[in-house]
């Protein structure tokens, strides 16, 4: 453990040194040298350390000053929302779920600055999905443009307690390759495990409405696995009447609600917060969990026995047997039109997205988030070779096919997510006794109403 | 006989002397003093009440926002929840407080000791208390189900995620748990202010037990009780913590009340205007309450 | 004769009174059984959620999610972690505790100052538009705090007070002052007005009357309102959460809510923090309980 730490510290130092030399061409000596930055707090201490290092390195290399406030996830979102509405904003704002919750609507309302000059500097390095997720539609100019600078990427891998699967008398290597079958594979384990432990469940499914993120993410993966990815297309058009989409919605709702009704999902999952599934998993109350980032594993980083007991798996194929497209979440930064020091803000971001800098930054944060740049992870053994959890996670995110979150295509979908339409649809089935068909119709109708407020012009 | 005089309530009312304190009104430098004395409050009121209220009204002035709310199924549920929550919680809480204030009038050291314990929920910070209740009710590992399992050998449901009504019920109970002590103390203070000789006089007239309550105590407490109930209604309408931390609005956003939905719309849905509109939509309920309360307080001088 | 009459009276009365006595005793016994029953129920009702807090605080991290109703190995480790700031989220705990204290003291001071000044002007100096002021106060009193939260947040941005303890103090004072004005006004009625007049004839300025006569006589009400304001500031969450965001400026309730941010939730630490945080208000309430009751009782029921 100590060894690992020392090694990572050393690696970090080397990385920063390298980054510093590459960075110098970008440094602009703007007159006002200070920019204010709002950054979201990490889930582990190391992430905040990594950010402080990043700021220090930038200040040293550029001579500019960064006034950073690191703010927890929830309050950070509130500050950003309130700041954008009232016009009092820091120069740079960064949030883990800005691609789903802030940037789409605010680009739509023409409140963000075009950052194409920042993104362009690394355009060749960014993953295509990351690039897709940095372009948003502006309803004033009626055009799509870069308003979001990708810095970190994440997907939802599957986390499994290896020992629990074994205890139930199964082998993970026997797990089927297709989506529904893969999930079904765990069902018989429940009876076996219940013989020894009260209240154990196999499926960490999260049909929750408490969000902000997990409930929607879970559903979208089932939707994609059933071929419903076309619900909103990259041109921003919804396809809610498309029979294929509708069928996928019904199938996805059916699988989740049936598993819930059959008792494979903890009943509390309906109102889980984003942390509750991790808690249930850590307490070994669920055998497996589909959940964003490898925070589940990283939280146990210092308890090696448990850490090694968890198997991190990339997603199985979809139900048609094709490689599954995972939703690639992009955490990034953006600049409001009300920012006071745009040159330094942009300069800081240009510095931060250099491949070496991103790599060092995210490695110091224990690899919970990935660089949105395939080359970087292929070059550095840290991502694909050194740790089985990271290997599976990185492969799913940057090697296998991915799609961006739907709000990138249509800002109305951010509101759909916030309204937790899918969680409510599952609840309609399991609580109100609706048929999957009726719940799907209701949800799609609701989505139609919301998206109607955001007509994206066809290019 | 006695009760008749009591009903009129005359002997208990002390009319405030009507003459002016500073006879002949304020003069010269006293105006300056008066202004200096009231200025801090006027400033506070303008800066932190008038301005935000006006600002809020301006934020939520768009009629389309209300149309948007009206067609939102979550909002419709929220209205029903708010009415149920306020109606049930306030009445149960106030009636309980009325009865308990009578109980705490009993003599004996242990009653006094009990009162000390009983007010703990009020003195405790709200956040950890409600979070504790939230955990206690967790279906998988909460104290309540663990207790049922260990003692009776069966598992209870997930108390907060099985049904809307169950969850709302627990929210109401939690609110009562937290706030009943406060109102009990207020009503207890009211009861203690009733002169003992009234009871003695009533006893001479043969009033005991229930008759004593209906003919002596209640007529005297009625006004205080009414004012407390009105106030508590307004406070409960704005109660954010109970719902937010106990049920979190779940299951499936079915137990939100206006106070929590407003915050949710503003910051989770990232629509501050919609959030303000949700909150403002309770004004039709609020304004009459405030007017009644103003009249009551002006005419009868009840202290809390 | 007279003796006989007396005897007769005793004779006729005594069986009935004995019967009545027995009945009364029976009633009394049932009443005390009933009272004891109510007492037990009340104790359970009040203490169960508090018991849960203590239990979680005494558990070790993994035990929180198990099926016990008492920790297998209760330990005070969590408290030690809190006191020594031994966990990531708690690394600023004492600073945050200090912030809470700062907010509490600031709220108490300004509530008492602004409230007593205004009520002196309204109630003692009887200024002409005093009724307007007390109605305005009433208006604030009845606006639920959470309803003002959203505009308030943005107003604070305009005032440049975001992430500043003073914004929270302003909010708490706003909601505590109307209550203060009421109590002071009511309590003030019981102080003879002649005292003011006498002082004034002796040439005292209104400021001197306020400082030397009004305030000392108002002491019980000041204590009652002060305790109330402190509890309000200590209990309040929404405004503190909205207005404070950096680790250094957070108050303890906001820091507690941080535990919900992460995927890792050491809830035993959270509850231990909550217990430490609960101590001051509970202690202060118990210290000033009697005076507080006195302050509240003044006026009590009228009409």
pLDDT tens, position by position, C19-46: 777 888 888 888 888 889 999 999 999 9
* pLDDT (tens digit per residue) in C114-144: 999 999 998 888 777 777 887 788 777 767 7
Q: How far is CA A297 from CA A183, C198, C255, in A?
A: 21, 77, 24
What whole-number distance in Å separates Cα of residue B104 and Cα of residue B126? 24
Task: Note the pLDDT of residue C142.
Answer: 67
**Based on the domain organization, do C10 and C109 belong to the same domain?**
no
Least confident of A379-388, B281-290, B292-301, C175-184: B292-301
Q: Is the same domain home to C278 and C188?
A: yes
Kindly list the distances between the CA atom of residue C237 and the CA atoms of A435, B127, B198, B250, C266, in Å, as whole numbers in the listed order.
41, 7, 44, 20, 21
Are B164 and A294 spatial neighbours (Cβ–Cβ below 8 Å)? no
Q: Which residue of B140, B141, B168, B265 is the best one to mutate when testing the A interface, meaning the one whose CB has the most A CBs within 10 A?
A: B140
Asked whether residue C115 falls in the same domain as residue C264, the answer is yes
Residue ending a domain, among C43, C58, C73, is C58
pTM: 0.85
Find the Cα–Cα–Cα–Cα dihedral C288, C291, C296, C299, rounded to 10°: -170
A404: alpha, beta or left? (left if phi > 0; alpha if psi -120 to 50)? beta
Say yes or no: C92 and C157 in one domain. Answer: yes
Cβ within 8 Å, pair B53-C66: no
Query: In angstroms, rounded to a whole number, what is the distance separating the alpha carbons of residues B220 and B196?
Result: 13
Residue B249: the pLDDT is 87
Q: Check if the beta carbon of residue A122 is closer than 8 Å to that of residue A373.
A: yes
Q: Which of residues 200-219 of A touch B (CB under 8 A)?
A: 208-212
Task: Tell whether C183 and C234 lie within a shared domain.
Answer: yes
Beta bridge partners of A232: A238
Structural domain contains residue C75: no
What kind and span of H or E run contains B104? Answer: none
A4 has a pLDDT exceeding 70: no
Co-location of C183 and C285 in the same domain: yes
- In terms of residue numbers, what domain contains C251? 82-297
Same domain flag for C121 and C44: no
Q: Do A210 and B161 touch (CB under 8 A)?
A: no
Whether B21 shows a pLDDT value over 70: the answer reads: no
Question: Same CATH topology for A2-154+328-403 and A158-327+419-451?
Answer: yes
**CB-CB neighbors (< 8 A) of A275 in chain C:** 260-265
Q: Is the dihedral of CA B207, B208, B214, B220 positive or negative?
A: positive
Is C158 inside a domain boundary?
A: yes
Q: Is B251 near chain A, with CB under 8 Å?
A: yes
Residue C263 pLDDT = 67
Q: Which of C152, C261, C266 to mutate to test the interface with A (most CBs of A within 10 A)?
A: C261
Interval A327-368: pLDDT, tens: 999 999 999 999 999 999 999 999 999 999 999 999 998 899
Query: Among A26, A37, A9, A32, which residue's Cα sits nearest to residue A61?
Result: A26
Contact A370/A383 with Cβ under 8 angstroms?
yes
Task: Based on the fold, state whether residues C108 and C222 are members of the same structural domain.
Answer: yes
Which residue of B34, B44, B238 is in closest CB contact with C144? B238
CB-closest option in C245, C247, C263 to A278: C263
The residue that leads in pLDDT, A80 or C71, is A80
Is residue A18 predicted with pLDDT exceeding 80?
no
CA distance C248 to B224: 44
User: For residue A370, which of A277, A305, A298, A290 has the smallest C-alpha distance?
Assistant: A298
Q: What is the pLDDT of residue A234?
A: 93
Token digits of residue A400:
């296998």
> Cβ(B255)–Cβ(B247) under 8 Å?
yes
Q: What is the rounded distance in angstroms from the CA atom of residue A234 to the CA atom of residue A232?
A: 7
Q: Which chain C residue has the Cα nearest residue A76?
A: C245
Q: Where are the domains of chain A?
A: 2-154+328-403, 158-327+419-451
Give the gap in angstroms from C-alpha A229 to the nearest C-alpha of chain C: 28
- Interatomic CA distance for residues B267 and A71, integer angstroms: 15
Q: How many CA atoms, within 13 angstroms, populate the side-chain half-sphere of residue A99?
A: 28
Q: Is residue C25 part of a domain?
A: yes
Would you say how long chain A is, in residues? 459
**Which distant-in-sequence residues (6+ apart) come within 8 Å of A309 by Cβ?**
A161, A162, A163
The CATH H-level superfamily of A2-154+328-403 is: Periplasmic binding protein-like II (3.40.190.10)
Q: Any bridge partners for residue A150, and if so which?
A: A332
CATH 3.40.190.10 for domain A158-327+419-451, yes or no, is yes
Tell me how many degrees the CA angle B96-B138-B92 measures, rounded to the nearest 5.
10
- Let me know whether C281 and C151 are in one domain: yes
Distance from CA of B82 to the nearest CA of A (A): 19
Strand A158-161 to A286-290 pairing: antiparallel
pLDDT at C186 over 80: no
Contact call for C157 and A279, based on CB within 8 A? no
- Residue A1's pLDDT is what? 36
Question: What's the pLDDT score for residue B177?
Answer: 97
Average pLDDT of the segment spanning B245-266:
89
CA–CA gap between residue A154 and residue A402 (Å, rounded): 11
DSSP, collapsed to helix, strand or coil, labels residue A393 as helix
Does residue C303 lie within any of the structural domains? no
Residues C63-104 pLDDT 10s: 667 777 788 788 888 899 899 988 888 888 999 999 999 999
CA distance A366 to A295: 9
Q: Do A423 and B157 touch (CB under 8 A)?
A: no
CB A217 within 8 A of CB A280: no
Phi, psi at A336, each rounded to 5°: -80, 155
pLDDT digits (tens, 9 = 90+) for A325-338: 999 999 999 999 99
Residue-level pLDDT at A198? 77
Q: The tokens of A177 are what?
A: 């390759």
The DSSP output letter for A236 is S
Print the SS3 string covering B34-49.
Answer: HHHHHHHHHHHHHHHH
User: What is the distance in angstroms between the Cα of B58 and the nearest Cα belonging to chain A?
Assistant: 13
Dihedral angle of Cα A350, A353, A354, A358, to the nearest 10 degrees: 150
What the block records as the tokens of A102 is: 């802030």
The residues with which A137 forms a beta bridge, in sequence order, are A144
As given in the structure block, the two tokens for residue A431 are: 């609580």
pLDDT at A374: 96
Q: Which residue on chain C is closest to B146 by alpha carbon?
A: C67
User: DSSP per residue over A397-434, as a string?
Assistant: IIIS-EE--GGGT-THHHHHHHTTHHHHHHHHHHTT--
Better-scored residue on pLDDT, A160 or C64? A160
Residues C48 and C120 in one domain: no
In this prediction, residues A151-163 reach a mean pLDDT of 96
Identify whether the C-beta of residue B120 lies closer than 8 Å to the C-beta of residue B139: no
**Positive/negative CA dihedral, A263, A264, A266, A270:** negative
Calculate what percentage of chain B has a pLDDT beyond 70: 88
C163 and C26, same structural domain? no
Asked if residues B90 and B182 have their Cβ atoms less than 8 Å apart, the reply is no
Which residues pair with residue A312 across a beta bridge?
A159
Of residues B220 and A62, more confidence is placed in: A62
Q: Report the mean per-residue pLDDT for chain A.
A: 90
Q: Does the beta carbon of B268 lie under 8 angstroms from any beta carbon of chain A?
A: yes
pLDDT > 70? residue C230: yes
Of C42, C66, C302, which is closest to B302 when you measure between CB atoms? C302
pLDDT at B26: 64
Is the model's pLDDT at C253 over the cut of 60? yes
What is the CATH classification number for the domain harbouring C219? 1.10.3720.10
Specify the DSSP element, H or E, that contains B255: none
Chains within contact range of chain B (3+ C-beta pairs < 8 Å): A, C
Instruction: Copy the structure tokens of residue A84.
Output: 């954008």
- Within 10 Å of residue B43's Cβ, how many Cβ atoms? 11
Could you give the CA distance from residue C171 to residue C106 in angstroms, rounded to a whole number?
11
pLDDT band, residue A15 (cuts 50/70/90): low
What is the residue whose two structure tokens read 């991190």? A312
- Reply yes or no on whether the pLDDT at B211 is more than 70: yes
- Domain check: are C182 and C230 in the same one? yes
Distance CA B218, CA B3 (A): 11
Task: Name chain C contacts of A70, Cβ cutoff 8 Å.
Answer: 246-247
- Virtual CA dihedral for A342, A344, A346, A351, nearest 10 degrees? -170
pLDDT one-digit tens code per residue, C212-227: 999 998 888 898 889 8
């Amino acid at each position: 453990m100590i060894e690992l730490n020392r090694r990572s510290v050393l690696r970090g130092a080397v990385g920063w040194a390298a980054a510093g030399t590459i960075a110098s061409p970008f440094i602009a000596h703007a007159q006002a040298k200070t920019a204010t930055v709002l950054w979201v707090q990490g889930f582990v201490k190391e992430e905040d350390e990594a950010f402080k290092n990043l700021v220090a390195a930038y200040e040293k290399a550029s001579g500019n000053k960064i006034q950073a406030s690191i703010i927890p996830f929830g309050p950070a979102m509130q500050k950003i929302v309130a700041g954008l509405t009232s016009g009092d904003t820091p120069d740079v704002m960064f949030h883990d779920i800005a691609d789903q919750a802030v940037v789409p609507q605010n680009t739509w309302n023409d409140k963000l600055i075009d950052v194409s000059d920042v993104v362009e500097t690394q355009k060749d390095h960014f993953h295509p999905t990351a690039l897709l997720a940095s372009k948003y539609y502006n309803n004033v100019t009626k055009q799509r443009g870069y308003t979001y600078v990708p810095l970190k990427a994440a997907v939802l891998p599957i986390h499994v307690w290896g020992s629990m699967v074994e205890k139930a008398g199964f082998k993970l290597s026997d797990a089927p390759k297709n989506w529904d079958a893969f999930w079904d594979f765990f069902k018989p384990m429940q009876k076996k495990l219940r013989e020894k432990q009260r209240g154990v469940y196999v499926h960490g499914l999260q049909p929750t409405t408490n969000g902000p993120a997990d409930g929607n993410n879970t559903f979208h993966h089932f939707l994609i696995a059933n071929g419903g990815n076309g619900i909103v297309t990259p041109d921003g058009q919804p396809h809610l009447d498309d029979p294929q989409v509708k069928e996928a919605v019904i199938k996805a709702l059916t699988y989740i609600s049936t598993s819930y009704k059959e008792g494979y999902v903890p009943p509390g999952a309906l109102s889980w917060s984003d942390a509750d599934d991790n808690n249930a998993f850590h307490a070994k109350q669920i055998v497996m969990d589909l959940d964003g980032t490898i925070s589940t594993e990283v939280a146990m980083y210092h308890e090696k026995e448990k850490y090694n007991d968890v198997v991190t798996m990339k997603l199985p194929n979809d139900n048609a047997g094709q490689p599954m497209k995972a939703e690639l979440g992009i955490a990034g930064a953006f600049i409001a039109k009300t920012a006071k020091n745009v040159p330094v803000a942009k300069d800081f971001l240009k510095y931060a997205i250099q491949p070496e800098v991103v790599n060092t930054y995210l490695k110091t944060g224990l690899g919970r988030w990935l660089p949105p740049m395939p080359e970087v992870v292929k070059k550095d053994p840290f991502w694909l070779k050194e740790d089985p959890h990271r290997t599976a996670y990185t492969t799913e995110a940057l090697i296998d096919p991915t799609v961006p979150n739907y709000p990138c295509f249509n800002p109305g979908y951010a509101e759909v997510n916030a309204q937790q339409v899918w969680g409510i649809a599952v609840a309609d089935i399991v609580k109100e006794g609706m048929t999957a068909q009726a719940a799907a119709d209701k949800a799609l109708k609701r989505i139609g109403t919301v998206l109607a407020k955001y007509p994206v012009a066809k290019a | 006989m006695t009760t008749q005089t009591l009903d009129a309530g005359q002997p208990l009312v002390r009319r405030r002397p009507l003459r002016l304190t500073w006879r002949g009104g304020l003069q010269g430098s006293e105006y300056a003093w008066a202004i200096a004395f009231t200025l801090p409050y006027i400033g506070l009121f303008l800066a932190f009440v008038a301005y935000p209220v006006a600002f809020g009204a301006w934020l939520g002035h768009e009629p389309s926002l209300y149309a948007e709310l009206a067609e939102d199924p979550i909002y419709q549920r929220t209205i029903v929840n708010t009415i149920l929550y306020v109606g049930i919680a306030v009445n149960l809480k106030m009636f309980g407080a009325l009865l308990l204030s009578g109980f705490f009038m009993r003599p004996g050291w242990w009653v006094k000791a009990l009162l000390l314990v009983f007010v703990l929920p009020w003195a405790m910070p709200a956040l950890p208390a409600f979070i504790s209740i939230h955990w206690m009710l967790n279906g998988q590992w909460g104290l309540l189900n663990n207790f049922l399992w260990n003692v009776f050998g069966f598992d209870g449901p997930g108390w907060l995620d099985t049904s809307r009504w169950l969850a709302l019920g627990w929210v109401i109970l939690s609110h009562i748990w937290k706030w009943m002590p406060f109102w009990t103390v207020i009503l207890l203070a009211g009861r203690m202010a009733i002169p003992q000789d009234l009871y003695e006089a009533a006893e001479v007239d043969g009033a005991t037990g229930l008759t004593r309550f209906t003919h002596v105590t209640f007529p005297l407490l009625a006004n205080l009780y009414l004012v407390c109930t009105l106030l508590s209604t307004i406070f409960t309408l704005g109660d954010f913590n109970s719902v937010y931390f106990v049920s979190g609005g779940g299951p499936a956003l079915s137990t939100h009340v206006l106070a929590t939905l407003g915050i949710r719309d503003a910051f989770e849905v990232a629509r501050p205007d919609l959030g303000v509109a949700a909150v403002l939509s309770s004004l039709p309920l609020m304004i009459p309450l405030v007017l009644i309360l103003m009249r009551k307080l002006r005419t009868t001088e009840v202290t809390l | 004769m007279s003796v006989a009459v007396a005897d007769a009276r005793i004779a006729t009365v005594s069986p009935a009174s004995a019967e009545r006595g027995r009945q009364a005793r029976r009633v009394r016994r049932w009443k005390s059984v009933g009272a004891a029953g109510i007492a037990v129920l009340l104790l359970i009702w009040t203490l169960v959620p508090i018991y849960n807090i203590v239990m979680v605080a005494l558990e070790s991290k993994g035990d929180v999610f198990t099926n016990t109703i008492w920790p297998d190995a209760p330990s005070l480790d969590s408290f030690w972690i809190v006191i020594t700031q031994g966990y990531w989220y708690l690394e600023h705990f004492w600073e945050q505790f200090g912030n809470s204290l700062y907010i509490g003291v600031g709220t108490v001071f300004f509530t008492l100052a602004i409230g007593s000044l205004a009520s002196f002007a309204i109630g003692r100096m009887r200024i002409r538009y005093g009724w307007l002021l007390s109605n305005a106060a009433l208006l604030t009193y009845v606006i639920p705090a959470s309803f003002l939260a959203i505009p308030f947040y943005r107003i604070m941005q305009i005032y440049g007070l975001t992430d500043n303890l003073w914004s929270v103090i302003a909010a708490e004072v706003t909601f505590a002052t109307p209550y203060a004005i009421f109590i002071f006004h009511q309590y003030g009625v019981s102080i003879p007005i002649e005292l003011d007049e006498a002082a004034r004839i002796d040439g005292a300025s209104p400021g001197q009357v306020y400082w030397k006569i009004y305030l000392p006589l108002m002491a019980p009400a000041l204590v009652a309102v002060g305790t109330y304001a402190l509890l309000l500031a200590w209990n309040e969450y929404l405004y503190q959460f909205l207005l404070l965001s950096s680790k250094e400026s957070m108050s303890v309730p906001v820091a507690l809510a941080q535990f919900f941010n992460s995927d890792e939730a050491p809830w035993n630490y959270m509850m231990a923090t909550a217990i430490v945080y609960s101590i001051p208000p509970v202690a202060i309430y118990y210290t000033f309980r009697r005076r507080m009751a006195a302050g509240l009782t003044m006026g009590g029921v009228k009409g």
